[in-house]
Structure 1
Amino acid sequence: MAGDDDRVYYVISDLHIGGDEQLEEIDFLDELLAFLQRLERTEENAALVINGDAFGLWEFTTVEGMAKFDVLESTYPELFAQLRATGEQIPITLVPGNHDHELAAYDAYVDRFAEYNVDLVQSQSVTRTVGDHAIHFEHGHQQDPNNHIDNWGDPHVTPLGYYYNTLVTSRAGQLSNRGKYNWLKDVQAVTPTERVPVWMLSKYFYREMNPVLRYALIPFLLLFNVSAVLAVLAGLDLLNIWSLPVDATTAFLGQFGTIGTAVWFLLAINTAVAGVLLLVAIPLSLLRRDIRKTIDRFGVFETGLTVDAEAPYAAAARTVFDEQPATTIFCYGHTHRPSVQSVDGGLVVNTGTWLKRLHRRDGVIGLLPPVFYPSYQLCAVRIAPTEDGVAVEYEQIEKPTPSPEELTLTERLLTLGRTPNVELPDRTVVAGDDAEPSAE
């Protein structure tokens, strides 16, 4: 164990700084510098823990080894200068994550970061004391089978997540500026990764598709649900089973003259297309179901890409709390979801991310692609001793939402009244001695 018992710990994680081409951009650089400057001036007995994925080393595909540090150093001189200044006043501990696992693979990184007053710890986790309690810090990817590092410190390890980020994320950074809007680089903000195809379809429809084609499709897509019902009713009419709905609709629209005729033709076209799609969907659905059963039978995909954001970490925390009775806080990142959960009298704390977050908002009608609403949820977790034990609270770091610039008018209209709730967890105190943590 290390650290003063009365020290206050500030914890951040998942900055993902660096990468190929467009991934070099840091949308939150000003906020990060301001946060570090505040810690530089603090009168608290404070320390900073950067709990993994500070840097996107997996996303560098044109340089190897320590050359990646040279690129970081030359690309972000202000950041490294501020780390040096802040590190002169308070201790800064850097823990490797999966994206920057190479920090644990090359001892030279320790010396290079030491030049900027950053203590790089090359182990999987660190423990610090606060009062009579202890905090376990780890990035969290060791609990994720897709990013688990079997041979810690081996520079050649390549879990599934490594291939995804070197082949997909880094490539997105190289191609992003070719779009009508520089959006492809945000692929690293899409979680879980299964949503990437839907997200790309969404961005194509709302950003890349020819506007004339898009606005021509919107009425059909909005009316699809109605048209599907009308297609069934039209089929019943053609079979002379039930003609009342079609006759009633025709009579009703006939009252409005030319406008009614135009609406009738629009509905007729939509109904015809919807009918064809419904007929095709039946055999396709049966085929998809049979293929799925075959894949499951052979066990081709035994491990999904989605990893539970809470259960594996609760299980890991129970093990740590059992083996180290003084430890009452298990602090991790990795999943990008700030949260606090009570486990066996202790707390499991997720520090979130400084990347943009994308919140899926499905359409309430029709077949329009979902909208991925962007927001920032920048925060630092403050862990401090209190008279009752240890308090965990989230400090919000304000950053305006990027939605006005990044969402089209259509997307903004479709998400009216449906913006995401990005509130951070409440302050929680863990008292120890088998007392349950309490939220305030």
Structure 2
Amino acid sequence: MDTDSDDRVYYVISDLHIGGDEQLEHVEFLEELLAFLERLETTDENAELIVNGDAFGLWEFTTVEGVEKFDVLERTYPELFEQLRATGENVPITLLPGNHDHELAAYDEYADRFAEYNVELIQEKWISREVGQQAIHFEHGHQHDANNRIEDWGNPHATPLGYYYNTLVTSRAGQLSDRGRYNWLKDVQAVTPTERMPVWLLSKYFYREMNPMLRYSMVPFLLLFNVSVVLAVLAGLDLAGIWSAPVDQTEAFLGQFGRAGTAAWFFLALNVAIGGLLLLIGVPLYFIRRDIRKTVDRFGVFETELTVDPQEPYEEAAREIFSEQPATTIYCYGHTHRPGVREIEGGLLVNTGTWLKRLHRRSGVIGILPPVFYPSYQLPVVRIAAEPEGVAVEYERMAKPSPATEELTRTERFFTVGREPETDLPDRRVVEPERTVQIAEASD
């Protein structure tokens, strides 16, 4: 083991997704990123910064090709590149390609251009670093995602399924975002998994783009939909002469309040009529939908790799690495945008999360209102260092105000009161040295 590794501290970030067409070029965390780099510029630690993939959104550029994209980045973010140069004079900065910036592995000129700013671009799938008597495996993680795996590594024309999604959907969203009532479509990058895209679009249309008068007039009916369906069933039982007590009791109760009671009765009757109509339509539609789903299932459409497990492939990859390389006890990746630490056989599986905005789905507890996608920032920095008790993995959150107040409508904030997401990062974890010894002995 290199003696320098005994006190080497590794700072790891990933999934910044800097750059893209039009509205995607705006980096909402640029101030916080510069502050973090400025701190490393003056640190006395024996540190290395590892940017573990998807630092840049090269897939999201559709008007320039190849290394020209570096020129655009350089012009758009001069302050960032100058800070990289200054920070790189004090600590090594290592950059790994992800799927969104796989082109970094395809053109050797990228390595030369980044070197001018004291950034070492490693054009490989993964790297390893020693820490104390252990080792860390770093890779972005997209090679274990069937939708984004690069089969021909380093081929500038590699186009997995995720490439088409980002060039046709994400970049287009960046071009159209400023045409809406609010500039929200650019947040398409934060929608994960992508299967939630239709629901997110419905939610943003309802809460952001729909005419406010129309939305506010619909809210009471949508909120009372569940109640209306029950009342519709009771009204049907009353008309059929089977059970009239609930309707009679409700009418008598509301009758005590005069005109207010009459208005409430009329409103409930209107909801019942609408609920009954939707119920009548919904029953046959339900059976038709179920039959269609069974037919589709027979063809195996929902059993393809379009939906990727965000956890299992990485656990399997980590187990394989730990088994083949007994000194390696930490598997560090990004890609899924979900910061987390899990202990598996042989070590720790560490996800570095994302600096993009995160959207937390909050479904309505009543009615049939669209879910709310509650925004937050985590801006995680993972610190890995050797300590007397072993190798410690710690998360630090760069402070940034919540965007909820500005980005959620009053209606969305009302329906999420008390249901705000927990955005805490994982607790500190330690890989004890005894673990490495036990694994080494087991492999002998």
Q: TM-score category by the smaller chain?
A: over 0.9
**2:210 counterpart residue number:** 209
SS in 2 for 1:123: coil
Assess if the C-alpha contact under 8 Å between 2:332 and 2:351 holds in 1: yes
CA distance in 1, matches of 2:51, 2:334: 10
Where do 4+ consecutive residues of structure 1 move more than 4 Å?
A: none
TM-score normalized by the length of structure 2: 0.96
SS in 2 for 1:335: coil
Deviation at 1:301, TM superposition (A): 4.0
Deviation at 1:51, TM superposition (A): 0.1
CA distance in 2, matches of 1:151, 1:242: 69
SS in 1 for 2:374: strand
Tell whether 2:1 aligns with 1:4.
no
**1:359 counterpart residue number:** 360
TM-score normalized by the length of structure 1: 0.97
Deviation at 1:53, TM superposition (A): 0.3
CA distance in 2, matches of 1:48, 1:261: 69
Following superposition of structure 1 onto structure 2, how do residues 247-258 of structure 1 map, counting pairs within 5 Å? 247-258=248-259
Deviation at 1:297, TM superposition (A): 0.9
- Amino acid in the other structure paired with 2:50: V
Assess if the C-alpha contact under 8 Å between 1:318 and 1:344 holds in 2: yes
**2:442 counterpart residue number:** none
CA distance in 2, matches of 1:3, 1:62: 48
Deviation at 1:387, TM superposition (A): 1.0
CA distance in 2, matches of 1:216, 1:306: 37
Deviation at 1:180, TM superposition (A): 0.7
Deviation at 1:304, TM superposition (A): 4.7
**1:308 counterpart residue number:** 309
Tell whether 2:239 aligns with 1:238.
yes
Post-superposition Cα deviations, 1:17-54, rounded to whole Å, max 9, x if no partner, equal 00000000000000000000000000000000000000
CA distance in 2, matches of 1:52, 1:259: 62
For structure 2, the 5+ residue unaligned runs are 439-444
CA distance in 2, matches of 1:301, 1:262: 48
CA distance in 2, matches of 1:92, 1:3: 20
SS in 2 for 1:434: helix
The sequence identity of aligned pairs, in percent, is 74
CA distance in 2, matches of 1:66, 1:125: 22
- Amino acid in the other structure paired with 1:11: V
CA distance in 1, matches of 2:340, 2:304: 25
CA distance in 1, matches of 2:209, 2:2: 53
Assess if the C-alpha contact under 8 Å between 1:382 and 1:392 holds in 2: yes
CA distance in 2, matches of 1:38, 1:308: 36
CA distance in 2, matches of 1:2, 1:195: 46
**1:415 counterpart residue number:** 416
**2:441 counterpart residue number:** none
Deviation at 1:329, TM superposition (A): 0.4
Post-superposition Cα deviations, 1:153-172, rounded to whole Å, max 9, x if no partner, equal 11111111111111110010
- Amino acid in the other structure paired with 1:334: H
Deviation at 1:74, TM superposition (A): 0.4
Following superposition of structure 1 onto structure 2, how do residues 171-250 of structure 1 map, counting pairs within 5 Å? 171-250=172-251
Deviation at 1:266, TM superposition (A): 0.7
CA distance in 2, matches of 1:375, 1:2: 40
SS in 2 for 1:9: strand
Assess if the C-alpha contact under 8 Å between 2:319 and 2:346 holds in 1: no
Deviation at 1:279, TM superposition (A): 1.2
SS in 2 for 1:48: strand
Post-superposition Cα deviations, 1:188-237, rounded to whole Å, max 9, x if no partner, equal 10111111111111111111111110110011001111100000001111
CA RMSD for the aligned pairs? 1.4
Following superposition of structure 1 onto structure 2, how do residues 246-395 of structure 1 map, counting pairs within 5 Å? 246-395=247-396
Deviation at 1:436, TM superposition (A): 11
SS in 1 for 2:155: coil
Assess if the C-alpha contact under 8 Å between 2:342 and 2:348 holds in 1: yes
Assess if the C-alpha contact under 8 Å between 2:329 and 2:436 holds in 1: no
Deviation at 1:294, TM superposition (A): 1.3
Assess if the C-alpha contact under 8 Å between 2:323 and 2:346 holds in 1: no
Deviation at 1:435, TM superposition (A): 7.0
Residues matched between the structures, number: 437
